[in-house]
């Protein structure tokens, strides 16, 4: 089995603070981490490898040169190899443009690593929160997709994926090759071992730079190749404290609540 | 893709019994305001099986037109079938804007659809308006785990698309159903050869 995991280095958004005067994000001192959802995707691949030790796990990330730190982290956890996609012309890409570049990078990596049976992604990155790049890669590569994956098992010709739905859980059978995105499962991903960490420190990662694929159309990536543009950004207003309903009796409170819900078309 | 109309589409996601998911009806509320500002119709797009109730509700909650794709292959959501159907409709009618509820299925379908069209999609919006200067939809959404809000526009590609978080907007007031209903016969293979079938764990 040959699995590619797409990962992203993100700022730890739980540690981001807002400048109270300028109302902007304070990015200084915020640690850069492996996107947690990508960690779940890697764990899913690692569990397949636990059962089938012949499995090869390759990771790819797109970002500035310092993003190799997450490739190293992935090798420390379970990955066999990693690739960095990094070019000045790639900057400013929105999700469609990013997925265009990554889909070409994946084809390029397959020239060396062989065809991938599956591409795993995190459901979304915790900085952009879009959950779009995975399905968009699947579209460029014409692969079937399952999103919101929790657990996965290899089957004869593909995978069985347990996925999160609004009304519970679904189990979907999907044929290989395919793309699956993962959300937070009920278990914690494994930590790197000392042995693997030492290995990761020596690992070298190939970079796919601006010109890695001359067939790519520059009109499809970068700031100018992106259909969406950020017009403005601002910090959200502080949430108000909600509404307190406390009538004489419980019944009266319930009636008042019901009236408010009905009046506001909520039920 | 070229927009052939100034129409704004709201995708009405359906349950397996053909009833509408609430978020689709909620979106008819901001949809009305934006369709009026864009100078086009407010169109509800209903895909599912036995969807009479959804079609009726879309009309009651203010759609000018309801486009319906119906068939047993749409009873359960599958990426392949739904994206094919929505793509077919978009190509045929050319709306300028499409809004999709940001449910798990909506967020599965949205990016697959928008990348097939090669247009922009703004995810999980919580506030919507029309930019007065350009007439583009101004999609506002949280990012960085809710620490930052961003307003996104898609100036040169059509249709401009967004998924919108459920529960942000209230359903509009119910009114008289004046919607014109268009039934589109569009069918796909009930079981895609490449999988995506329900099973048990």
Q: Which residues of A touch B118 (CB under 8 A)?
A: 96, 227
d(CA B93, CA B142): 31
Task: Kindly determine whether residue B108 and residue A135, on different chains, have CB atoms separated by under 8 Å.
Answer: yes
Pairing type for strands A9-11 and A32-34 reads: antiparallel
Residue range of the domain that includes B154:
8-184
Tell me whether A209 touches chain B (CB under 8 Å). Answer: no
* Residue B47 placed within a domain: yes
In-domain check, residue B196: no
Q: Is A227 on the interface with B (CB under 8 A)?
A: yes
* Domain presence at residue B195: no
Q: Which domains, and CATH codes, for chain A?
A: 2-220 (3.40.50.620), 237-267 (no CATH)
- Structural domains of chain B, count: 1
Q: Where is average pLDDT lowest: A216-225, A231-240, B158-167?
A: A231-240
In a domain? residue B197 = no
A179 touches B: beta carbon within 8 Å: no
Q: Which residue has the higher pLDDT, A19 or A119?
A: A119
Is B201 a domain residue? Answer: no
pLDDT in tens, A192-226: 999 999 999 999 999 999 999 999 999 999 999 99
Which residues from chain B sit within 8 angstroms of residue A151, using beta carbons? Answer: 201
Cβ distance A235 to B147 less than 8 Å, yes or no, reads yes
pLDDT of residue A27: 75
Q: Choose the weakest-confidence range: A20-24, A170-174, B34-38, B143-147.
A: A20-24
Q: What is the pLDDT of residue A29?
A: 85
Domain harbouring B151, CATH code: 3.40.50.620
pLDDT for B88: 98
Domain presence at residue B120? yes
pLDDT at B76 over 70: yes
Q: How many CB pairs under 8 A join A and B?
A: 164
Any domain includes B200: no
| Burial tier of B3 (Cβ tally within 10 Å: 0-12, 13-18, 19+) | middle
CB contact under 8 A, A148 and B111: no
For the stretch A55-65, pLDDT in tens is 999 999 999 99
Arithmetic mean of pLDDT, A113-132: 97
| Res B34: pLDDT | 98
pLDDT score, position B119? 98
**B199 found inside a domain:** no
Q: What is the SS3 string spanning chain A?
A: CEEEEEECEEECHHHCEECCCCCCEECCCCCEEECHHHHHHHHHHHHHHHHCCCCEEEEEEECCHHHHHHHHHHHHHCCCEEEEECCHHHCCCCHHHHHHHHHHHHHHHHHHHCCCCEEEEECCCCCCCCCCHHHHHHHHCCCCEEEEEEEEEECCCEEEEEEEECCEEEEEEEECCEEEEECCCCCCCCCCCHHHHHHHHHCCCEEECCCCCCCCCHHHCCCCCCCCEEEEEECCCCCCCCCCCCCCCHHHHHHHHHHHHHHCCCC
Helix (H, G, I), strand (E, B) or coil at A34: strand
Q: Which residues of B touch A129 (CB under 8 A)?
A: 123-124, 141-145
CB contact under 8 A, A130 and B157: no
- Rounded to whole angstroms, how far apart are CA atoms B104 and B106? 6
Is the Cβ pair A232, B122 closer than 8 Å? no
């Amino acid at each position: 089995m040959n699995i590619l995991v797409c990962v992203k280095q993100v700022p730890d958004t739980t540690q981001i603070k807002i400048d109270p005067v300028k109302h902007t994000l304070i990015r200084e001192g915020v640690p850069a981490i492996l996107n947690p959802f990508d960690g779940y995707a890697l764990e899913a691949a690692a569990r397949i490898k636990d059962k089938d030790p012949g499995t090869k796990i390759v990771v790819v990330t797109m970002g500035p040169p310092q993003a190799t730190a997450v490739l190293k982290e992935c090798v420390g956890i379970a990955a066999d190899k990693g690739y960095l996609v990094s070019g000045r012309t790639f900057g400013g890409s929105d999700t469609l443009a990013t997925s265009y570049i990554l889909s070409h990078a994946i084809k390029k990596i397959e020239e060396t690593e062989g065809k991938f049976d599956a591409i795993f992604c995190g459901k979304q990155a915790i900085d952009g929160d879009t959950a779009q790049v995975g399905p968009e890669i699947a579209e460029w590569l014409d692969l079937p997709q399952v999103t919101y994956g929790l657990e996965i098992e290899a089957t004869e010709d593909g995978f069985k994926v347990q996925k999160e739905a609004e009304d519970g859980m679904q189990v979907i059978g999907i044929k290989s090759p395919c793309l699956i995105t993962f959300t937070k499962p009920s278990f914690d991903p494994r930590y790197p071992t000392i042995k693997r960490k030492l290995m990761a420190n020596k690992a070298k990662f190939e970079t796919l730079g601006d010109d890695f694929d001359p067939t790519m159309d520059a009109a499809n990536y970068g700031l100018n190749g992106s259909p969406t543009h950020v017009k403005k950004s601002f910090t959200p207003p502080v949430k108000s404290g909600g509404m307190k309903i406390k009538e004489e009796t419980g019944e009266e409170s319930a009636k008042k609540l019901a009236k408010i819900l009905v009046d506001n078309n909520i039920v | 893709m070229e927009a052939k109309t100034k129409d704004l589409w709201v995708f009405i996601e359906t349950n397996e019994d053909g009833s509408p998911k609430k978020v689709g009806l909620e979106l008819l509320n901001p949809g009305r305001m934006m369709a009026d500002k864009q100078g086009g119709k407010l169109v509800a797009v209903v895909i599912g099986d036995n969807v009479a109730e959804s079609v009726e509700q879309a009309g009651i909650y203010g759609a000018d037109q309801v486009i319906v794709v119906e068939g047993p292959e749409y009873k359960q959501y599958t990426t392949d079938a739904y994206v094919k159907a929505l793509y077919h409709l978009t190509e045929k009618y050319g709306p300028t804007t499409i809004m999709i509820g940001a449910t798990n299925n909506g967020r599965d379908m949205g990016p697959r659809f928008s990348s097939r069209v090669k247009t922009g999609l703004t995810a999980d919006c919580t506030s919507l308006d029309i930019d007065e200067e350009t007439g583009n939809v101004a999609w506002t959404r949280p990012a960085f785990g809710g620490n930052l809000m961003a307003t996104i526009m898609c100036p040169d590609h059509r249709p401009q698309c967004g998924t919108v978080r459920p529960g942000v907007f209230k359903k509009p007031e119910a009114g008289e159903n004046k919607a014109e209903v268009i039934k589109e016969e569009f069918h796909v293979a009930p079981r895609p050869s490449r999988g995506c079938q329900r099973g048990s764990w």
